[in-house]
Amino acid sequence: MQIKNAFRLGLVGTLGVGLGILILMSVVSLQTILVYVGAALFLALGLDPIVGWLEKKRFPRWTAVLTVVLAALGVLAGLAGMVVPIVVEQISRLIAMAPDIQRQLTNTDIVDYLETQFPALNIPQLLDQVSNFLLANISNIGSQAIQIAFGFGTFLFGALVVTILTIYFTASMPAMKRGMYLLVPASKRVRFAELSEQITDSVGRYVIGQIATASCNGILSFIFLSIIGAPFPQVLASIAFFFSLIPLVGTLSAAVVISLICLIPGLGSPGIALAAAIYYLIYMQIEAYVISPRIMSRAVAVPGAVVVIAALSGGALLGLLGALIAIPTAAAIQMIVKQVLIPRQNRK
């Protein structure tokens, strides 16, 4: 009897371990799709408060969703319309300059000048080595170019999938919430629904607040960079906007990138780069102590240390998406602890 029970226990344990491994392998295989779903759900929760506000203005649900989605797509199309033509123009200019660059590199006067300035170097031999290296690795360069093109295509496909899922999730958000509430026992359903509404509202307010903060950075950056004569202020302002969507390090990263771009010879100058660096140094203080607290105080109330730990942990686990959802997730956990766990402990 003991042998039979031991066999049964071992069989059940083996099946449990196998099922766990199968679930983990499925999650790893579906990680890209899960990221798409998570990003779309996060965006849908951010758009839902705006849809609810329009519904209070007597908009039908479908009209409110359509209005919000078209407005969001219009903003993205406007940003792309500002940035893409400039990037295409610069790439076209570089391609047009390629023959001149090649002629200059093969110009004997330049070779003679380099040999005079650097007598210890064998310039023709170096040029031959560079040419041989390029010829030997032309297949690798071509494969890397194909990989870059494939990665860009994957990004566009992912953006399309996230956009479609966001539209579906935004349109069906009330039905999704009702379906989730039905899975909870009736005795706890009201309390669960109340807490869930608070969490989803907090996530929505956080998304709107983060977009508002990034918009402030983008608009002010465009105005200041246009005044100081920075190269391509539209592109740099777009960089400031998108980088500012990243918590904690977004504004600092944008400041460094923009300052370095302003330092490129032929595009900017050291004076413009210094002016941009000083501006962002001042702006980061204003954003940290004036803009962000006023915008975020109504969205999430999370201690600073928890914000830092949550953002770093989320970024390490899920990359950019993890950094974006880490702070509202921390706010949701804090809300559950305050409204569920602490009252339960006090009752005991």
Rg (the chain; Cα; Å)? 28
The rounded distance, in Å, linking the Cα atoms of 84 and 237 is: 13
pLDDT tens digits for range 64-110: 888 888 888 887 777 777 767 766 676 666 566 556 655 655 555 55
The rounded distance, in Å, linking the Cα atoms of 105 and 112 is: 11
Q: Which amino acid is at 312?
A: L
Quick one: what percent of the chain has pLDDT higher than 90? 2
Contact status, residue 51 vs residue 69, Cβ threshold 8 Å: no
Contact status, residue 321 vs residue 40, Cβ threshold 8 Å: no
- pLDDT (0 to 100) of residue 117: 61
The rounded distance, in Å, linking the Cα atoms of 51 and 60 is: 10
pLDDT tens digits for range 110-154: 556 566 666 666 666 666 666 666 556 655 655 665 666 666 677
Mean pLDDT over 324-345 rounds to 76
Contact status, residue 196 vs residue 262, Cβ threshold 8 Å: no
In the chain, domain spans:
31-95+145-183
Mean pLDDT over 293-307 rounds to 65
How far is the CA of 156 from the CAs of 72, 123, 145, 161, 326, in angstroms? 17, 44, 17, 9, 25
- pLDDT (0 to 100) of residue 1: 45
Asked if the model's pLDDT at residue 340 lies above 60, the reply is yes
Sign, CA dihedral 59-60-65-71, equals: negative
Asked if the model's pLDDT at residue 188 lies above 50, the reply is yes
How far is the CA of 221 from the CAs of 86, 125, 174, 267, 278, in angstroms? 18, 48, 38, 17, 12
The rounded distance, in Å, linking the Cα atoms of 335 and 214 is: 26
The first and second tokens of residue 237, run together, are 């302002």
The rounded distance, in Å, linking the Cα atoms of 220 and 282 is: 12
